[in-house]
C-alpha cells in the first residue's frame, strides 16, 4: 500500500510559491541534524530521520510544519538509540516549558 509520505503523482492543487525566512529555532533543528550526523558522532543517519518522519500518522504529518517533523524524528531517533531516555527528556521538556524561553 502506498504510504502517506509517498505522494508522487497524486492529484494536488497549485503550488503555493510563498516562502518564509527560516526562524532561528528551525535553523537550530537543522544544526542538530547536521551535528548528530557528522562522522565523529554518527548518532543519526538520514534513514533514521526519514523513517521516524514517515512513521508519523497522516494527520500529524500534514499538520506539523517541516522542522516540527524533523525535531520529532530527531528526538525519536535519540530515544531509540538510547542516547536520551524518555524520563530525562520528559523532565527537561517540563523544565523548558515552565521556564518558557529558548535561552
Partner 1 sequence: MTEIHHLHPHRHPAVPDDDGPLGYYQALEVAVRELLVEKGIFSGDDVRRAIEAMDARTPAQGARIVARAWTNPAYKARLLADGTAAARELGIDTAATRLIAVENTRLLHNLVVCTLCSCYPRMVLGLPPDWYKSRAYRSRAVREPRGVLREFGTVLPEDVEVRVHDSTADMRYLVLPERPDGTEGWSEERLAGLVTRDSMIGVTRCRL
Alpha carbon distance 83, 94 (integer Å): 19
- Say what angle helices 66-81 and 86-99 make with each other, to 10 degrees: 140
Q: Quick check: 29 binds partner 1 (CB under 8 A)?
A: yes
Q: Quick check: 93 binds partner 1 (CB under 8 A)?
A: yes
- Angle 47-48-50 from CA coordinates, rounded to 5°: 65
- Least distance from C-beta 44 to partner 1, angstroms? 11
Q: Quick check: 95 binds partner 1 (CB under 8 A)?
A: yes
Interface with partner 1 in residues 52-91 (CB under 8 A): 53, 55-56, 60, 62-68, 71-72, 74-76, 78-80, 83-84, 86, 88-89
Amino acid at each position: 500500500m502506498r504510504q502517506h509520505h509517498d505522494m508522487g503523482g497524486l492529484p494536488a492543487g497549485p503550488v503555493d510559491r510563498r516562502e518564509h525566512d527560516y526562524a532561528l529555532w528551525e535553523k537550530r533543528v537543522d544544526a542538530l541534524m547536521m551535528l548528530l550526523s557528522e562522522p565523529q558522532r554518527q548518532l543519526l543517519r538520514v534513514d533514521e530521520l526519514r523513517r521516524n518522519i514517515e512513521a508519523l500518522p497522516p494527520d500529524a504529518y500534514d499538520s506539523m510544519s517541516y522542522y516540527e517533523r524533523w525535531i520529532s524524528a530527531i528526538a525519536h531517533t535519540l530515544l531509540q538509540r538510547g542516547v536520551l531516555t524518555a524520563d530525562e527528556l520528559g523532565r527537561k521538556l517540563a523544565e523548558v516549558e515552565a521556564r518558557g524561553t529558548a535561552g
